[in-house]
Amino acid sequence: MRPSRGFVSTILNLLHRYGQRAFVEVRSWYYGRLFSRCGKDLKVYGRLTVYSPHLIVCGNGCSLNDGVILNATGARITLGDHVTLSPGVMIQCGRLNVRPSGQERHHEYGPIEIGSNVWIGSGAHVLAGTTVGAGATVAANAVVSRSVEADVFVAGVPARPVELGLVGGAR
């Protein structure tokens, strides 16, 4: 038997009233069971939009912030251990195959793999068929359209490696 919307709404309102921590725990519990596989200590902070949750695998200690969109329609999304998705991140397994006018356009799908200890900044987009290597950092509002190597900082549209100097120009 499925609970009514009124029941669910009442429970969520009570949780919200008694503190954000309880609210985070319930969301984390729910999404941890919704995904294909999920490690320990998943934290879901705020709204999360998920398409095809049966194709999402999540490692240990992942943090998914408010406004994250995980669209696994057509392919698998794999998040490694200790991945942080900042507010507004979109991970999209589908893309439109754009052809010259007059030719048929169709969607193509590709899996996305995000390695362990990756941080993806607010508003960044990770597109179909890409891999983000372990320890990489993706800057806010970057668009990852090609795979990113491990332990690299990328920024821009499209995302490209950026050399990070020390603060104040000291070397």
Provide the pLDDT for residue 20. Answer: 63
Residue 117 has a pLDDT of 98
- Asked: is 5-162 a CATH 3.40.50.720 domain? The reply is no
pTM of the model: 0.82
E strand or H helix at 48: strand 48-51
Written as tens digits, the pLDDT of the chain (171 aa) is: 455 666 667 666 666 666 666 678 878 888 888 899 999 999 999 889 999 999 999 999 999 999 999 999 999 999 999 999 999 999 999 988 776 676 777 888 999 999 999 999 999 999 999 999 999 999 999 999 999 999 999 999 999 999 876 545 544
Residues in the chain: 171
Amino acid code (one letter) for 27: R
Number of Cβ within 10 Å of residue 72's Cβ equals 25
